[in-house]
Amino acid sequence: MTDPARPLTLLGIESSCDDTAAAVVRAGAQGGEILSSRVVSQADLHAAFGGVVPEIAARAHAEKLDIVVEQALAEAGVALGALDAIAVTSGPGLIGGVISGVMCARGLALGSGLPLVGVNHLAGHALTPRLTDGLEFPYLMLLVSGGHCQFLIVSGPDDFTRLGGTIDDAPGEAFDKTARLLGLPQPGGPAVEAEAAQGDGTRFRFPRPLLDRPGCDMSFSGLKTALLRARDACMAEAGGLRRQDRADLCAGFQDAVAAVLAEKSRRAITAYLALAPAAPALAVAGGVAANGPIRARLQALCDETGLTFTAPPLRLCTDNAAMIAWAGIETLRAGVDPTPEQLVARPRWPLDSGATPMLGSGKKGAKA
């Protein structure tokens, strides 16, 4: 087991979707210090296609990875040889991008003789509250991104219990599709949130799927069909989509997503509190965690149920490599041997191997 007091410094590499990222993170007594964090988005390359094109993503990662790694090391003022290890996302994600990252990391590790840790991208998101806030295990995590949506009890760096998740679209996907249906730019989340701020969330009452069923599973695909119908009705009435209609549709949609997330979080909290955690906490991560009204609903729920609410800063909610470096630090600290098997690039890699597999696929490929 590595001495927990030793300030490990790791390079992290992330390329599982449409962001090429590298970061250097040093472990502190509580949490970590981000010495550098570079993220190069491929959004422009995919914009014309209405979604991430895996082949374009893989090629762009392969072109940019070396540069981004060099920039991250230079900005941190840390030479490759001064690192303790390299951590790389080895799944789940779009396989071409994951392979690009793993190959780059392997080359660096071979050349420098540094240990190489394969990190689960979802573990990166799920462990972020420990990087930023030094949160104690076990905590409850709501992971809500463009590709994933699940409740996890995080009991250790490699100890996750999934309480439930989406059975179809992830909320970020639903935000993106809503934006597309309403002629708003991608990524849809921030655009829909900005429109919703001008709208009346009570005008359209969109469905709250699966609230009538027990458990923490969620569904968001029906929401976009309901939105499409409401949009068409507005357009038929006015001969086009009026600004106020668009804002009200966004507000109604966002309200429905927030209501489902809040109600399912309430149920997840009940299950989590049965473990009698010493310092109960709910943390939220992933791109959708950037949404102000959703955060506010979760904060209110935590105030009511006596949990601490933690949401990482926005730049750490969306994909980044600091979370990968941090997950690598946690893995080494836990004494997990960086085994070669971890370095197989995996398109699908559930955090809780005992849970029933989620069906369908998201923007990052198969759901985990």
Task: For residue 89, state whether it binds ligand KG4 (rule: CB under 6 A).
Answer: no
CA dist., res. 144 & res. 131, Å (int): 18
Nearest distance in Å: CB 114, ligand KG4: 27
Among the listed residues 44, 56, 82, 76, the one whose alpha carbon sits nearest the alpha carbon of residue 321: 76
Residue 285: enclosing H or E segment and its boundaries? Answer: strand 281-285
Instruction: Give the number of other Cβ atoms within 10 Å of residue 29's Cβ.
Output: 8
Instruction: Give the number of other Cβ atoms within 10 Å of residue 242's Cβ.
Output: 13
Nearest distance in Å: CB 106, ligand KG4: 23
User: How far from each other are the two terminal CA atoms of the chain, in whole angstroms?
Assistant: 29
Among 15, 42, 89, 145, binds Zn ion (CB under 5 A): 145
b/e per residue, 313-348, with b = 16+ CB within 10 A? eeebbbbbbbbbbbbbbbbbbeeeebeeebbebbbe
Is the bond preceding residue 313 a cis peptide, omega within 30 degrees?
no
Among 54, 91, 124, 147, binds ligand KG4 (CB under 6 A): 147
Task: For residue 287, state whether it binds ligand KG4 (rule: CB under 6 A).
Answer: yes
Residues present in the chain in total: 368
CA dist., res. 104 & res. 36, Å (int): 19
Q: Is 118 annotated as a binding residue?
A: no
Task: For residue 319, state whether it binds Zn ion (rule: CB under 5 A).
Answer: yes
Nearest distance in Å: CB 172, Zn ion: 9
Nearest distance in Å: CB 274, ligand KG4: 29
| Piece in contact with Zn ion (CB under 5 A), picked from 138-146, 205-213, 218-226, 251-259 | 138-146
Among 100, 145, 178, 219, binds ligand KG4 (CB under 6 A): 145
Task: For residue 173, state whether it binds Zn ion (rule: CB under 5 A).
Answer: no
Task: For residue 168, state whether it binds ligand KG4 (rule: CB under 6 A).
Answer: no
Output 18 or 330, the one with its CB closest to ligand KG4.
18
Output 26 or 121, the one with its CB closest to ligand KG4.
121
Residue positions in the annotated binding site for Fe cation? 121, 125, 319
Q: Which chain residues interact with Zn ion by CB under 5 A?
A: 145, 319
Residue positions in the annotated binding site for substrate? 143-147, 176, 189, 193, 291
